[in-house]
Structure 1
Amino acid sequence: MNLAQPSSLTFVLFSVKLVLFLAIRFFRSTKQKGQLPPGPRGWPVIGNLAYLSLNRPTYLWLHDVMESMKTEIACFRFARVHVITVTSSEIAREVVRDRDEAFADRVESYSSNIISEGYKDVIFSFYGERWMLLKKMMVAKLMSPTMLKKSLSDRTLEADNIVAYVFNLCQLGCTKTKVNVRDITGIYCHAVMMVMMFGRRHFIEATENGNGLGPKEKEHMDAIYRSLDCFFSFNVTDYIPCLRGWNLNGKEAEVREAVDIINKCNDPIIHERMHLWRDKGGKETGEDWLDILITLKDDQGRFLFTYDEIRAQCKDINIATIDNTMNNVEWTIAEMLNHPEILEKATNELDMIVGKDRFVQESDIPQLNYIKACSRESFRLHPVNPFMLPHRAREDTTLAGYFVPKGSHILVSRLGLGQNPKIWDEPNVFKPERHLDGHGGNSLSVSLMEPDMRLVTFGTGRRGCLGSKIGISMTIMLLARLLQGFEWSHLPGTSKVDLIPADRNLFIAKSLLASVKPRLTQRMYPKLQTR
């Protein structure tokens, strides 16, 4: 969708009015009620806003400023908005655990408004009674132990299918086959998400290559990532709301286009299912998450969610079930290729716990401590985004003894926590063993959850990830299946993976390419199954 561009004269006049307006507001609000966290000096009125455009990617500049100031909490002022960044586990616990109600709001932005259908979802909506109802229903119905157990066979089938898919690629090649790891992880994650939400793997029909992503699924996946990149891109309009709708840097058009694609993929299924349940009486019991969202009723027997709310929850599920698992598994395999001794330990654990006569199951995950330690180490070193989703102060309050004005944005740094030298020895070294010695686990059990906030996996607290259990299961199952089923090595002529993150997000800048070959007997590999 192309948004109209303002004329030069109109833009100049508007800019003059805007500066005057901000100046008046600024000088009326310069008196603080307490000492703000330390931060860089800014210009009158605009504060540090100019640095957003001059320093890209912005997250690197924010962390560089904090490092130069030798602080684990900093305050940046973008126009009238105070943005407070945190790299300390103690302060992070204040935000998401000890005083999380004070910081339970979400920030307003053009991207979050578009993605959430006007804040009608769980991820981006503001704290209040409606949000609490949405969260309660999501936890009690969609993410309940009963529902997760019911969908276990679907997830296992997709784990079988991804092994069969890679095995078939190997059959087409010679001794070793080149594979794109990001493509493989994307196929699995998208398929699990689709089956659990819509009860089907494809939007239209199966692809010619079996269970790979078809054109519609690839378009859907790309749109999900573009919408997230726009949300995390630190736009000027995030801090000056009156500029929204002008598409000043093209991000508004980009996120609108991405969300339109997601909706065009999801909407026909939602419309068809709503017609089935609400007009024709539907079936006796629901079979997937969409059925549950559509059929839930309140105490008066009225349907609980509107079409827009269902549409928004579907986009939440699109976003939440894909990015973390894909990013973590790709980075973990990349690190293992650069550390063959770690790869060997992981496969040895699988051989010892599971053996070579059956494939790993979700029930084996509690015993796969070294593989969980490898995944946890990737979450520490290579998070999917530099920061957690922003929190917003609901009132004037304090954080780490500093004054935090109402409306401040609180950014807990995934990078800053995971690579903080005060928390971790040799913070830049991939060392899974660190999670087996009491740091995040012990010799009996390793957990991917992190309530102490020394790193971020799937989030915690009042606004934490509601699907952490399914996220952990997907991540470890995918990693374990790929390691158990195949031998992994560098491409011919190479001996090292370049571990360089992308600029827009923290995925590996170039999709990981590797050589694979089956490591089990041929009879072990399942055949592709279609739905």
Structure 2
Amino acid sequence: MEIHIYELLSYFAYLCLILWVTIQAFTFLFSRTTNNKNKRLPPGPKPYPIIGNLFDLDDKPHKSLAKLSHIHGPIMCLKLGRITTVVVSSSAMAKQVLQTHDQVFSNRTIPDSLRACDHHKHGLPWIPVSPSWRNLRKICNNHLFSGKALDANQNLRHQKVKELLAGVRTMAEAGEAVAIGIAAFKTSLNLLSTTFFSVDWENLPASDMGGIDLRETVWSIMEAAGKPNLADYFPVLQMVDPLGIRRDMTVHFQKMIDLFNGVIGQSLKLREVINSPQKEESNMLDILLNHMENKENRENQLLSKTTIEHLLLDLFAAGTDTTSSTLEWSMTELLKNPEAMSKAQAELNQVIGKGNQVKESDIGRLPYLQAIIKEAFRLHPAIPLLLPRRAETDVEVCGYVVPKGAQVMVNAWAVSRDPKVWENPNEFIPERFLDSNVDVKGRHFEITPFGAGRRICPGLPLAVRMVHLMLGSLINSFDWKLEDGVEPETLSMDDKFGITLQKAKPLTAFATPRH
């Protein structure tokens, strides 16, 4: 009888797994690890043989880890399969990881899914601190997301928000409910594509986009990256990718890389036509390509076409998903708390006038709007478990030893709901920020949705501007009402976990223009 090659490979992988589990069982039973026997590890739940503490997690690990921290403390040690994992869940412990010992914890543990398309070798969030990493950070900080660069193209953001309002107005006139997350995603996508490529991607036909649904692709990437993976807990299984997560991620990554490859290829051909490797910088892709073609980079090879493709992948995936998710959570909280919505609209009426679009120059004069967004970031951090870090050496943290090679995770969701820091931590109370200098820019560890230290998200300045513009304009231009049968007190607040935190049930609401 003919046996398919994949069946043979699966059978071989199964035998390898059985053999490996047997070896690990004997190792656990007869030879306790010697590396950590004299080290005072942080407290934590007792691990089971082989699997460790995997059964202590569920499909919402940010919440299950927060519950464990109430028992074992703000710094705890778990064994996730073969991986020693240290989780911190308080602002004081987050400061130790993100600031005090930032250099020791500056590199990442790499989820197996992020090895797809060699993304871990090129993606800015994942590559180790190195000359290439510093070069990318410098380009982001000094050219892409600097205050000067963002001020220069603020009119573009205003135009994209104006188009968002026009689309909502059309739906309002037709009596259609607005899917807030989708509307925010489209606006974020248009902003990024126009900023980087001078092309409005959302309005292009599917054939021009390679036939891919970018929103679906981006969420698939975020979901796969955050999905529990046996290959992460038992590294020996990475050779077989038992759950197929890396294979799925390869498909999603390749779609976006092919898209960026086509856009970059067109721009490089144009440079050949004008017979110049350097080009007047009309968009951010021109900036990146000019850096790639300059003499210093050609000598040091710090920035390549492949690196640019992976940088764009990170910026577009994270930039669209986190911004749209934060806006959707902000609108959800306002619709669930009509009093806060009324206060925000009253402030907008007074400062810029009812029905007018918010401009970036207005944001500093809208403290209640700023407080609403800080409170939304606090309750619903876009990345609830900040991207994992790795201890480069043994390091003592508050009397405990974090061993070399350990995975270190900051539970930003738990930190920002710590009852020792926040009064009524699970309630939406924007007023708590009105007389507070706490912000989300990595200087205050009570709320760190973008991380902190040298690994802080480089797109933070753009994301903050966009959320203020979109939310302020939407609630000042329209009154909002939930769909029939949905009352504020019954509005679903369930979330679903990926690398980012999405609403489990997307928010839809009816808009009525304010005049």
Give TM-score, length-normalised by structure 1.
0.87
Partner residue in 1 for 2:493:
499
- Tell me the SS of whatever aligns to 2:107: coil
Provide the C-alpha distance between the structure 2 equivalents of 1:491 and 1:9, rounded to a whole number of angstroms.
52
Provide the C-alpha distance between the structure 1 equivalents of 2:243 and 2:155, rounded to a whole number of angstroms.
46
Contact persistence 1:202–1:217 (CA under 8 A): no
Do residues 314 (structure 1) and 312 (structure 2) align?
A: yes
Partner residue in 2 for 1:527:
none
Q: Out of 273, 291, 305, which is 2:286 matched to?
A: 291
Contact persistence 2:371–2:434 (CA under 8 A): yes
**Superposed displacement of residue 380, structure 1:** 0.9
Provide the C-alpha distance between the structure 2 equivalents of 1:375 and 1:262, rounded to a whole number of angstroms.
30
Contact persistence 1:84–1:409 (CA under 8 A): yes
Partner residue in 2 for 1:202:
201
Provide the C-alpha distance between the structure 1 equivalents of 2:149 and 2:118, rounded to a whole number of angstroms.
24
Partner residue in 2 for 1:512:
507
Provide the C-alpha distance between the structure 2 equivalents of 1:438 and 1:118, rounded to a whole number of angstroms.
38
Q: Out of 209, 224, 233, which is 1:230 matched to?
A: 224
Partner residue in 1 for 2:363:
365
Q: Out of 328, 334, 344, which is 2:326 matched to?
A: 328
Provide the C-alpha distance between the structure 1 equivalents of 2:225 and 2:94, rounded to a whole number of angstroms.
21
Q: Which has the higher helix share?
A: 2
Provide the C-alpha distance between the structure 2 equivalents of 1:327 and 1:337, rounded to a whole number of angstroms.
15
- Tell me the SS of whatever aligns to 1:47: coil
Q: 1:419 to 1:483 in 2, by over 3 A?
A: same
**Superposed displacement of residue 22, structure 1:** 4.4
Do residues 47 (structure 1) and 24 (structure 2) align?
A: no
Provide the C-alpha distance between the structure 1 equivalents of 2:216 and 2:351, rounded to a whole number of angstroms.
37
Contact persistence 2:108–2:388 (CA under 8 A): yes
**Superposed displacement of residue 506, structure 1:** 2.6
Q: Out of 398, 401, 404, which is 1:400 matched to?
A: 398
Partner residue in 2 for 1:242:
236
Point out the more displaced range, 186-195 or 260-269: 260-269
Point out the more displaced range, 494-503 or 410-419: 494-503
Q: 1:127 to 1:351 in 2, by over 3 A?
A: same
Provide the C-alpha distance between the structure 2 equivalents of 1:228 and 1:188, rounded to a whole number of angstroms.
19
Provide the C-alpha distance between the structure 1 equivalents of 2:199 and 2:437, rounded to a whole number of angstroms.
40
Contact persistence 2:41–2:401 (CA under 8 A): yes
**Superposed displacement of residue 423, structure 1:** 0.9
- Tell me the SS of whatever aligns to 1:82: strand
**Superposed displacement of residue 327, structure 1:** 1.3
Contact persistence 2:279–2:290 (CA under 8 A): no
Residues 193-236 of structure 1 deviation map (CA, whole Å, 9 limit, x = unaligned): 111222211278368xxxxx998697112212211222122312
Q: 1:70 to 1:244 in 2, by over 3 A?
A: closer
Contact persistence 2:212–2:255 (CA under 8 A): no
Q: Out of 151, 167, 170, which is 1:168 matched to?
A: 170
Point out the more displaced range, 7-16 or 418-427: 7-16
Contact persistence 2:192–2:316 (CA under 8 A): yes
Provide the C-alpha distance between the structure 2 equivalents of 1:143 and 1:5, rounded to a whole number of angstroms.
50
| Aligned amino acid, residue 388 of structure 2 | P
Point out the more displaced range, 6-15 or 145-154: 6-15
Q: 1:214 to 1:305 in 2, by over 3 A?
A: closer
Provide the C-alpha distance between the structure 2 equivalents of 1:147 and 1:289, rounded to a whole number of angstroms.
10
**Superposed displacement of residue 7, structure 1:** 4.4
Partner residue in 2 for 1:30:
34
Partner residue in 1 for 2:122:
120
**Superposed displacement of residue 50, structure 1:** 5.7
- Tell me the SS of whatever aligns to 2:76: strand
- Tell me the SS of whatever aligns to 2:73: coil
How many aligned positions are there? 501
Provide the C-alpha distance between the structure 2 equivalents of 1:381 and 1:202, rounded to a whole number of angstroms.
31
Identity %: 26
Contact persistence 1:58–1:234 (CA under 8 A): no
Q: 1:57 to 1:301 in 2, by over 3 A?
A: closer
**Superposed displacement of residue 347, structure 1:** 0.8
Contact persistence 2:451–2:457 (CA under 8 A): yes
Contact persistence 2:115–2:246 (CA under 8 A): no
Q: Give me the CA root mean square deviation.
A: 2.6
**Superposed displacement of residue 28, structure 1:** 7.3
Q: 1:180 to 1:5 in 2, by over 3 A?
A: farther
Provide the C-alpha distance between the structure 2 equivalents of 1:288 and 1:350, rounded to a whole number of angstroms.
33
Partner residue in 2 for 1:61:
64
**Superposed displacement of residue 519, structure 1:** 0.4
Q: 1:323 to 1:5 in 2, by over 3 A?
A: farther
Q: 1:23 to 1:30 in 2, by over 3 A?
A: farther
| Aligned amino acid, residue 421 of structure 2 | I
Contact persistence 1:117–1:308 (CA under 8 A): no
Provide the C-alpha distance between the structure 2 equivalents of 1:182 and 1:214, rounded to a whole number of angstroms.
24
Do residues 260 (structure 1) and 254 (structure 2) align?
A: yes
Provide the C-alpha distance between the structure 2 equivalents of 1:116 and 1:414, rounded to a whole number of angstroms.
28
- Tell me the SS of whatever aligns to 1:487: strand
Partner residue in 1 for 2:441:
449
Provide the C-alpha distance between the structure 2 equivalents of 1:215 and 1:240, rounded to a whole number of angstroms.
38
**Superposed displacement of residue 88, structure 1:** 0.8
Q: 1:4 to 1:419 in 2, by over 3 A?
A: farther
- Tell me the SS of whatever aligns to 1:488: strand
Partner residue in 1 for 2:184:
185
* 1:1-20 matched pairs, under 5 angstroms: 7=9, 9-19=11-21
Q: 1:224 to 1:63 in 2, by over 3 A?
A: same
- Tell me the SS of whatever aligns to 1:228: helix
**Superposed displacement of residue 14, structure 1:** 0.5
Contact persistence 2:478–2:514 (CA under 8 A): yes
Residues 320-359 of structure 1 deviation map (CA, whole Å, 9 limit, x = unaligned): 3122221111111111112111101101111111124742
Residues 145-172 of structure 1 deviation map (CA, whole Å, 9 limit, x = unaligned): 3321222221111011101111121222
Partner residue in 2 for 1:477:
469
Provide the C-alpha distance between the structure 1 equivalents of 2:258 and 2:160, rounded to a whole number of angstroms.
25
* 1:385-424 matched pairs, under 5 angstroms: 385-424=383-422
Contact persistence 2:180–2:508 (CA under 8 A): yes
Contact persistence 1:372–1:448 (CA under 8 A): no
Provide the C-alpha distance between the structure 1 equivalents of 2:9 and 2:122, rounded to a whole number of angstroms.
34
Partner residue in 2 for 1:443:
none
Provide the C-alpha distance between the structure 1 equivalents of 2:247 and 2:297, rounded to a whole number of angstroms.
41
Residues 49-85 of structure 1 deviation map (CA, whole Å, 9 limit, x = unaligned): 4656xx3333433233222x24111111124321111
Provide the C-alpha distance between the structure 2 equivalents of 1:206 and 1:80, rounded to a whole number of angstroms.
47
Contact persistence 1:199–1:288 (CA under 8 A): yes
Q: Out of 431, 452, 459, which is 2:451 matched to?
A: 459
Contact persistence 1:373–1:436 (CA under 8 A): yes
